[in-house]
Amino acid sequence: MHTDRLPPLPASSWTDEQRVGAEEIIKGPRGALVSPFVPLLRSPELMTHAQRLGEYLRYRSAIGQRLSELAILITARAWSQAVEWAIHVPIAIKEGIGAEAIASIALGQRPSQLLEDEALVFDFCTELHRNKSVSDSTWAAASSRFGEQGVVDLIGINGYYTLLSMVMNAARTPVPRMDAPALPDLPDPPFAPSSWAR
């Protein structure tokens, strides 16, 4: 068991800047100072800018919440980020992402049952994480389906949740008690094309 390197700070110890930033999060759609913002509270200006970006990407992106949640799960798996996984699996299910797809992503595999738009998001996100780029064919397909704003927002979701994953992996933020099954450890990097069952 790893020790939380940046555990919650008691509210009585918050600076004025920390309090203002925390209250903005608590009064927003999240309703609480949730896991990623506990370590980020140490840098309140960074936290405030990050949470505003995240609020747009999670709740109002051009691709909609169902596909945003899919991209978040793919990013959590790519970074083996158990906190994001635990938080977002129930949300993804509520938004309509299938249980089979979630189980395959947990194993770092391409789901066999994806809707057309979900398959585009899966291919785009996994290429971006695995190859640090996106192929011409995947770019063209995603741009045709989602438009340029949608593609840019999709990149933003991957980048934002990569930031949160890096913060919580480095800080060893503990996983909250959730209904989601634990994210399994994998012997190999996730989303290798050889594991895809097309």
Per-residue model confidence (pLDDT) at position 1: 64
In the block, tokens 């919440």 appear at 65
| pTM for the structure as a whole | 0.94
Q: Indicate the class that CATH gives domain 64-195.
A: mainly alpha
Q: Which stretches of the chain drop beneath a pLDDT of 50?
A: 196-198
List C-alpha distances in Å: 171 to 41, 115, 137, 168, 176.
12, 36, 37, 5, 14
Per-residue model confidence (pLDDT) at position 194: 61
Q: Answer for the pair 104, 110: CB distance below 8 angstroms, yes or no.
A: yes
Per-residue model confidence (pLDDT) at position 61: 97
List C-alpha distances in Å: 188 to 62, 107, 109.
33, 10, 11
Taken as a whole, the chain contains a residue count of 198
Nearest to 146 by CA among 96, 71, 51, 55: 71
Tokens of 167: 């913060």
